[in-house]
Structures are given as structure tokens and as C-alpha cells.
């Protein structure tokens, strides 16, 4: 998992990034937990997983933590 977070995203040519929360039907120890997901979309229609992390839904702190982990390899 550490290698996943260390990978270089600067060479990725994603045109779009989707951010969403996936809510499993099972409880993950907290009543409002979910999986926060970032997906990249490319011009050829393929998609790639950019980030996946457990967090709290509707929580700016959880979302901010996810973005800050990804941000070093992302350019506009």
C-alpha cells in the first residue's frame, strides 16, 4: 500500500478526476464511515484509481486528508 501512495502521478494524463464516497452496507466501526475514492478519466475512455481511503462521509477533514496525500503528484 505504501508503494501505491508513493507512485509518481506527474506522467499521468488524466483529463477528469471524479471524487466520490462509496458506502458499504456493513459498518466499518463508525456509523458514518465510507470509502473515499478518486478516479482519473483519460481521453481514450479508460479510468484509473488515483486514491482510495477510509473516511467519514460528508466530512471536510477526511476529504482534505485524501486530497493532500494525492496533491504532491498532481498538476493542473
d(Cα 67, Cα 76) in Å, to the nearest integer?
Answer: 14
Q: How far apart are CA 52 and CA 38, in angstroms?
A: 7
Domain span including residue 62? 2-73
More confident residue, 48 or 27: 48
pLDDT confidence of residue 47:
92
Burial zone of 39 (CB within 10 Å; 0-12 exposed, 13-18 middle, 19+ buried)? middle
pLDDT of residue 4: 74
Per-residue pLDDT, 23: 80
R_g (Cα) of the chain, nearest Å: 13
Q: How confident is the model at residue 31 (pLDDT cuts 50, 70, 90)?
A: low
Per-residue pLDDT of 41-72, as tens digits, reads 988 898 988 888 888 777 788 888 888 877 66
pTM of the complete model? 0.69
Other residues' Cβ atoms within 10 Å of the Cβ of residue 40: 19
Q: Report the C-alpha gap between 21 and 52 in whole angstroms.
A: 9
Residue 21 scores a pLDDT above 80: yes
Read off the pLDDT of each residue in 15-38 and give the average, rounded to a whole number.
79
Count up the domains in the chain and report the number. 1
Amino acid at each position: 500500500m505504501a508503494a501505491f501512495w508513493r507512485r509518481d502521478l506527474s506522467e499521468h494524463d488524466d483529463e477528469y478526476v471524479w471524487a466520490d464516497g462509496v458506502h458499504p452496507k456493513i459498518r466499518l466501526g463508525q456509523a458514518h464511515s465510507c470509502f473515499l475514492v478518486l478516479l482519473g478519466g483519460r481521453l481514450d475512455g479508460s479510468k484509473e484509481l488515483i486514491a482510495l481511503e477510509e473516511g467519514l462521509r460528508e466530512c471536510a477533514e477526511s476529504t482534505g486528508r485524501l486530497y493532500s496525500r494525492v496533491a504532491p503528484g498532481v498538476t493542473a
